[in-house]
Every structure is written in C-alpha cells, then in structure tokens.
Amino acid sequence: MDPSPEIAGRIVLVPTPIGNLGDITLRALEILRAADRIACEDTRHSAPLLARHGISGKPLVALHEHNEARRAPELIAAARAGETIAVISDAGMPGISDPGYRLVQGCIETGTPFEVLPGPSAVITALIGSGLPCHAFRFGGFLSVKSGKRRSALAAALESGETAIFFESPHRILSTLEILAGLNPAARTCVARELTKKFETYHRGTAAELLGYFQAHPPKGEMVLLVHAAEARETPTSGGG
C-alpha cells in the first residue's frame, strides 16, 4: 500500500554508530532531535549516545526482538496520528540482525510513511576492510549456535563463489574456524574485530591460518567473519592483519 498523503507523521529508521560514537550523520542527529519519540532496542544502551549529542527530554520506548510484533502497531498508530518516530538499534542499521523488519512491513501494509537513513553498517565496513572480493557478496546474519547448521551455512558460502559475511560470537569463533578449516583449509578468510573502536583489528589469511592464530590468541570482542573460497589459480594470503 502506498503511503497516504494525509498522514502527517512518519517513522524514520536511523542508523547509529557501530563503535565510535562520532560516526553519526548530521541528518541522523536532525531526525533524533526533531522526533516526538525514539524507539530504542535498549533504552539504557542508547542513552549515552543521545546524551553525548545533547538530545534529552525525548520519550524513549523499547523496541526489541521480544516485543516488536506487539509494539510495531502502537508506533504505526502514533505515526498515523501525526508523530515523527525515530527508530534506532544498539548499533548500525535497524533491521539488519536487529529489530525493524516487522515495523517496516507494518508501515507498508498500512500505507504509513517511513524513511530509511543511510549510515554505519558493520557488514559493509568489514567487507571493504577485509580485502576480499566485494563485487558480489552475501550476508548470513548470525551463525547458528548449532554446529550442524553452521557447517551447512559455511559450506553453502564456500560453494557460492561470493564473499560471505557472518556475525559470530568470540565464544564460538574457534569452533566455527575449525569447521571452516575442515571444509576448506585454504579458504580466504578474515575476522574483523571491534570495528571502529580503539582496538579494531583485521585478521586476514587462510581458514587454517586464522584457526591457528586464534588458538594461540584467545578471541575477544565483537566479530565479523568473512570468507571466500580460494580459487585454484590463487596463492592463499598469509599472516594476520
């Protein structure tokens, strides 16, 4: 359903920094300052970002994976009544492994105006920084906690011929790299850690090399795993980044 021109309000999905709080756009700040209310994945997590930029006195409402189905109609009704509602997640683009999808679907179904602002994304940042091919890529979200499903996802990624990007926990990265190295030890691999933060690092090499590195160096921090099947004519890159 197309947005109705009679509706004065709107919902705006606003990307927020993935680490460095300075990585927020002027347009994002304009929307946050003008909004009648701000829907946050975690109001406690978002408060420091808003305070840093002098945004106070705004009603904050929680919008997370456990209440999005219930809260989305409330926000849509408020927008249709004339409110401007900014939607932010804990980091990056709302809707990408974060709440936002159901809300957007609700806006489309009801003809409620909504906008999506461009901004920080761990997916694109990690892809470019990895040095892996970026002309075609796939994003798989968070890898499953179940090893069998992780194996299937990684096998499909290796067979795709594209760079695959996943979010992974530091508690499971060793297990995941073991699976990956078992499938293709020469696969071109990158683990991007703590993106945009003080201790940001890119570790680049083969799956086998990165497995050895993280076995010797206990993994910490938020991680993005990228993988691309090594072609027969290529010599796998070596060393960590």
- Boundaries of every domain in the chain: 10-116, 122-228
Span 65-85, mean pLDDT? 95
8 Å CB contact between 152 and 178: no
Task: Name the band, by pLDDT with cuts 50, 70 and 90, for residue 172.
Answer: very high
Q: How far is Cα 213 from Cα 198, in angstroms, rounded to an integer?
A: 21
For residue 67, the one-letter residue type is N
Burial class (CB in 10 A: 0-12, 13-18, 19+), 132: buried
Longest dimension (CA), the chain: 61
Domain 10-116 sits in CATH at: 3.40.1010.10
Mean pLDDT score, 164-170: 97
Of the pLDDT bands very low, low, confident and very high (cuts 50, 70, 90), residue 3 is low
Please compute the mean of the pLDDT values over residues 197-214 and round it to a whole number. 97
Task: Give the mean model confidence (pLDDT) for residues 202-218.
Answer: 97
- Among residues 127, 129, 122, 125, the alpha carbon closest in space to that of 96 is found at 122
Tens of pLDDT, residues 144-163: 999 999 999 999 999 999 99
The mean pLDDT of 32-49, rounded to a whole number, is 94
**pLDDT surpasses 50 at 11:** yes
Paired strand residues for 223 = 168, 193
Q: For residue 2, is pLDDT > 90?
A: no
| Single-letter amino acid code for the residue at 17 | P
State the Cα–Cα distance between residues 200 and 219, nearest whole angstrom.
Answer: 13
Query: What are the Cα distances from residue 85, in Å, to 3, 47, 49, 73, 112?
Result: 16, 16, 17, 13, 12
pLDDT at 1: 67
Per-residue pLDDT, averaged over 73-81, amounts to 96
| pLDDT over 90 at 236, yes or no | no
Average pLDDT over every residue of 171-194: 97
Start-to-end Cα distance in the chain: 48
Q: Is the pLDDT of residue 133 over 60?
A: yes
Looking at every residue in the chain, the average pLDDT score rounds to 92
Mean pLDDT of the 210-223 span: 94
Residues 6 or more apart whose CB falls under 8 angstroms from that of 173 comprise: 191, 214, 219, 223, 225
Range 122-228 classified under CATH 3.90.76.10: no
Q: What is the pLDDT of residue 8?
A: 81
* 25-39, 166-180, 226-240: the lowest-pLDDT one: 226-240
Cα dihedral sign, 91-92-94-96: negative
Task: Please give the model's pTM, rounded to 2 decimal places.
Answer: 0.86
